[in-house]
Chain A
């Protein structure tokens, strides 16, 4: 029994969701209540929807096909590169870069800018929550 408990503890720690800090948890909760208001059928943020938001291509602000992957790459633990300026972008995954998704002001800024750059519009509360869920959990 003890062994089983131990084994399940290990499994739990491996599969455990990435733990956001308090201010980020509060931000995610705010997004959640906004999403519920806008869509009565909304239940939870979705990794799958977030993945689609992150990886699908759209005609962006520059008038060319672009996705989040264009600059951040598909390996969120690796460095990306800004395709317009050639500037290196630090890894997006908080598991590789602990500064990511720790500061709400910064997260809001980049969600605002990057939705405009890729989608030419602001992201909805649901979309923002979905894409954050995808990024922080992607292995």
Chain B
């Protein structure tokens, strides 16, 4: 019995050390696809696929010619490669990641947002940020994750890693 408790304790502490608890991980899974990083990351931050559900990625990839009012069209073979990656790694495939689970859960079944910034969870999390902090030139828009989330490229969006230009750390309390 004692050894069983010890094992449980060991397993438990290793999970905590891995910044996950009962299998839940912080943030979203980091990007690990070269084509995606190159093609999508050349114009904007390569948002992790776990930030939107599959149906959103499918819809977004169907209209790259009109991608947020710019032309982001790809050759068919590149488009297919990237869509495959997005679909395989979309939010509902990564429910062990806290942000993926929460974003996915916040979207009503009938909705298919193509902007991460239009998901209810994202809106809720950013609602208190002053508008001028978002529009300032160092940030530019709410879509520029890395301007404030210093660990966004690792898929970590936690509060302690936020540093808003000309404001500093963000404390929700």
Interface residues on B, range: 20 to 34
**Is A113 part of the binding interface, using a Cβ–Cβ cutoff of 8 Å?**
yes
- Choose one: B42, B70, B73, B143; the contact of A112 (CB below 8 Å): B73
- Interface residues in chain B, defined as those with a beta carbon under 8 Å from any beta carbon in chain A: 42-45, 65-66, 68-75, 137, 139-141, 143-144, 147
Bound together, the chains give a CA A84 to CA B68 distance in angstroms of: 10
What is the bound-complex CA distance between A114 and B140, given in angstroms? 21
Looking at the assembled complex, report how far the CB atom of A70 sits from the nearest CB atom of chain B, in whole angstroms.
12
User: Which of chain A's residues has its CB closest to B42's CB?
Assistant: A87
Extra contacts besides A62-B69, A86-B144 (7): CB < 8 Å:
A61-B69, A84-B70, A85-B143, A86-B141, A87-B42, A87-B43, A112-B71
Please name 25 pairs of A and B residues whose Cβ atoms are closer than 8 Å in the assembled complex, sorted by A: A61-B66, A63-B69, A82-B44, A84-B68, A84-B141, A85-B43, A85-B44, A85-B45, A85-B140, A85-B143, A85-B144, A86-B137, A86-B139, A86-B140, A86-B141, A87-B44, A87-B45, A105-B75, A109-B73, A109-B74, A109-B75, A113-B70, A113-B72, A113-B73, A117-B70
Shortest CB-to-CB span from B11 to chain A, Å, is: 42
For the complex, what is the distance from the CA of A63 to the CA of B140, rounded to whole Å? 18
| Docked-complex contact A86 and B70, CB < 8 angstroms | no
Partner of B71, one of A61, A84, A86, A87: A61
Q: How far is the CB of A123 from chain B (nearest CB, A)?
A: 12
Query: Which chain A residues in 72-125 approach chain B with CB under 8 Å?
Result: 82, 84-87, 105, 109, 112-114, 116-117
* Nearest opposing residue in chain A for B137, CB measure: A86
